[in-house]
Amino acid sequence: MTRLLVECTYVYENPKANSGIQRVVRNVIRELPTEDLEREYIPVVMLRGKLYEVKSLVPPPEKAWDLVSLRARLEQAANLFWLRHRTLESRRPFSQSAWARRLLYVGCRLFVFGCLSIPIRLLNLLLRRRQVAPRIMPLEHRAGDQLVLLDSSWHADFFPLAEQLKRDGIGIISVVYDLIPLTHPQFCDAGLVKVFNRWFDWIARTADGYIAISTTIRDQLRQEMVRRIGEQQVRERWFDYFYLGSELDQIDPTQAIDPNLLRLFKRPEPVFLMVSTIEPRKNHAYLIDAFERAWAAGSQARLCIVGKIGWKCEALIERIRRHPQLDSRLFMFNNLADQSLEHAYRNATALVFPSYVEGFGLPLVEAMQRGLPAMGSDIEVFREIGGDFMAYFDLDEPQSLADLVTDMEHTGVFPAKRNLDHWQWLSWRQASAQLVERIEGHVNEVIVDRETACG
């Protein structure tokens, strides 16, 4: 029996994380096929040099697991602390004195280390000790198993184990979400660029096949592989893609919708929604520039930004918090639960998504599947996903988005070539099935080729 071992280590260790890749991992794992006499699909994690089968990605409802929430709050506090530090650093006297900036930095480092870093590390140790049972159990691998690296593995420490599994006859397949740290390093933290580059070198040497989340990324991936290891070795690997699903998986009907969000949608003026982590490549500054032009022209449209605060966004956050239209025509929500996000998707006028670069653009399909039209930057992957059902604007000219907003506000007509009534997209069950079917197709081809070569 063929076994696909689907790796989900980061999501297992961080069950509260809810950004794009974590959504993908949870939903694919949840929807893995269950009834198949010829194949078995097993979620796995690699911890402390050992392979485990995952029985549940959801922590048990015990008080001890409040430690997970505490760790998440401490990590968020650390991020916000450094955001404040960078804002303070740009002001007098720190902006005028290198010594003052140095003293500020040392003081902040000591504070974070004592009050946040040490508690976070202790919580990590406690949680690792608690996470052995009953959520996971040891798994014996077999020659012929296929290890699918589905999760965000560039920060992982399991590469020696994966290499040993490969020597034991297990195939390794890497899921690739994007190549942004390689192609657009200016949008990423410098540490991530180094880590991601090392990870890519590792999967280039180690993996037998690669499956991306769009044809755009599949083609970019193959080109980068040719550049790094040469055409001959690339021919020995296989490349494919699958598309992501569209449901929100953490909706809790018993949870109240954010009251400020409810008040926002009770007013009659149109609401344009942006859903994304706040970080440079998402291009929020362009978005605000465009809406400022629309407001200057008399538009009553409102802009609602939804997403956690990320990296390299200190100036942007300061701009939003000091904006004269804040809480009037400009709104920001940094911690919306899925129940509130669902409400926003179902009540907004349109989604606006001005990213410079993406691997897929999950909010696009989440919005459009709910009947919410989407306006996006005119980039290749958005054309692939949205086709004629989306409206596109020029990233070099904020006025192009301002015109789309004001025209829709005045006419009530969304300016796409095709109506969303004809839009159809994959569910997460279909997406998970597509992933495993395409992997199995390539694995079977490799087996047949080897048998033919052996005569």
CB under 8 A, 24+ apart: contacts of 110-116: 111/81, 112/78, 112/81, 112/82, 116/74, 116/77, 116/78, 116/81
| 311 assigned to some structural domain | yes
pLDDT exceeds cutoff 90 at 355: yes
Q: What is the pLDDT at residue 50? A: 94
Same domain, 230 and 340: no
In this structure, is residue 7 part of a structural domain? yes
Q: What is the mean pLDDT of residues 296-308?
A: 96
Report the mean per-residue pLDDT for the chain. 89
Q: Are residues 43 and 185 in the same domain?
A: yes
Q: Which of 100, 130, 160 is the last residue of a domain?
A: 130
**284 and 359 fall within a common domain:** yes
Q: Are 198 and 149 part of one and the same domain? A: yes
Please name every residue paired with 376 in a beta bridge, in sequence order, or none if there are none: 353, 392
Residue 138 has pLDDT above 50, yes or no: yes
Q: What is the pLDDT of residue 35?
A: 67
The DSSP call for residue 115 is I
How far apart CA 129 and CA 49 sit, in angstroms, is: 15
> Strand 39-47's sheet: what is its strand order?
136-138, 50-54, 39-47, 2-7, 146-149, 171-176, 209-212, 238-241
Query: Using an 8 Å Cβ cutoff, are 207 and 379 in contact?
Result: no
Residue-wise pLDDT for 196-234, tens only, equals: 999 999 999 999 999 999 999 999 999 999 999 999 999
Q: 360 burial class (0-12, 13-18, 19+ CB within 10 angstroms)?
A: buried
Domain count for the chain: 3
Distances (CA, A) of 152 to 21, 181, 332: 7, 13, 27
More confident residue, 63 or 377: 377
Domain end marker among 92, 114, 130 = 130
Amino acid making up residue 226: V
Domain co-membership, 293 together with 382: yes
Q: Please tell me whether residues 38 and 115 are part of one structural domain.
A: no
User: Residues 347-363: what's their mean pLDDT?
Assistant: 96
Q: Give the list of residues 6+ apart from residue 117 with CB closer than 8 angstroms, or none.
A: 78
| C-alpha–C-alpha distance, residues 18 and 11, integer Å | 9
Provide mean pLDDT across the span 330-346.
Answer: 95
- pLDDT confidence bin for 148, thresholds 50/70/90: very high
Distance CA 454, CA 266 (A): 70
Q: Is the pLDDT of residue 258 over 80?
A: yes
Q: Among residues 391, 40, 16, 432, which one has the least CA distance to residue 213?
A: 432
Domain region containing 118: 63-130
CATH number, position 181: 3.40.50
Residues in the chain: 455
* pLDDT score of 132: 47
Is pTM beyond 0.85? Reply is no
State the distance between the two ends of the chain, measured CA to CA, in whole angstroms.
23
Mean pLDDT for the stretch of residues 423-442: 95
Same domain, 168 and 42: yes
At residue 64, does pLDDT exceed 50?
no
Q: Which residues contact 334 (CB under 8 A, 6 or more apart)?
A: 278, 307, 308, 309
Flag whether 254 is in a domain.
no
- Which CATH number covers residue 303? 3.40.50.2000
Q: Is the pLDDT of residue 62 over 60?
A: no
| pLDDT bracket for residue 77 (50, 70, 90) | confident
Question: What local confidence, expressed as pLDDT, does residue 118 receive?
Answer: 83
Judgement on whether residues 190 and 327 belong to the same structural domain of the protein = no
Q: How many alpha carbons fall within 13 Å on the CB side of residue 364? A: 26
360 part of a folded domain = yes
Q: Is residue 229 part of a domain?
A: yes
251 occurs within a structural domain:
no
Locate 269 and state its tokens.
Answer: 């003026």
Rounded Cα distance between 390 and 374, Å, is 5
- My answer on whether 9 and 124 are in the same domain is no
Which of 307, 416, 413, 426 has its CA nearest to residue 365? 426
Q: Are residues 353 and 377 in the same domain?
A: yes
Long-range contacts of 44-47 (CB under 8 A, 24+ apart): 44/5, 44/6, 44/7, 44/8, 44/139, 44/147, 45/7, 45/8, 45/9, 45/12, 45/13, 45/136, 46/7, 46/9, 46/156, 46/158, 46/161, 46/162, 47/9, 47/128, 47/131, 47/136, 47/158
How far is it, in rounded angstroms, from Cα 31 to Cα 64? 28
Last residue of a domain, one of 82, 107, 130: 130
Greater pLDDT, 248 or 72: 248
What one-character-per-residue DSSP string does 141-169 give? Answer: --TT-EEEE-S--TT-S-HHHHHHHHHTT
Backbone angles phi, psi at 246, to 5 degrees: -135, -10
Share of the chain above pLDDT 90, in %: 70
For residue 79, how many C-alpha atoms fall within 13 Å in the half-sphere facing its CB? 16
Give the integer Cα–Cα distance in Å for 5 and 240. Answer: 18
pLDDT at residue 175 greater than cutoff 50? yes
* Contact (CB, 8 A) for 310 and 277: yes
pLDDT (0 to 100) of residue 403:
97
Say what the pLDDT of residue 389 is. 97
pLDDT tens digits, 369-403: 999 999 999 999 999 999 999 999 999 999 999 99
The CA radius of gyration of the chain, in Å to the nearest whole number, is 23
56 Cβ contact partners less than 8 Å away, ≥ 6 residues apart: 134, 135
Same domain, 344 and 312: yes
Is residue 252 situated within a structural domain? no
Both 326 and 355 in one domain: the answer is yes
Statement: residue 139 has pLDDT above 90? yes
Q: Which residues of 116-143 are buried (b: 16+ CB within 10 A; e: fewer)?
A: beeebeebeeebeebbeeebbeebebee
Q: Is residue 250 part of a domain?
A: no
Residue 406 in contact with residue 297, Cβ under 8 Å?
A: yes
Element (H, E) at 12: helix 9-13
By percentage, how much of the chain surpasses pLDDT 70? 92
Q: What is the pLDDT of residues 41-55, one digit of tens each?
A: 999 999 989 999 999
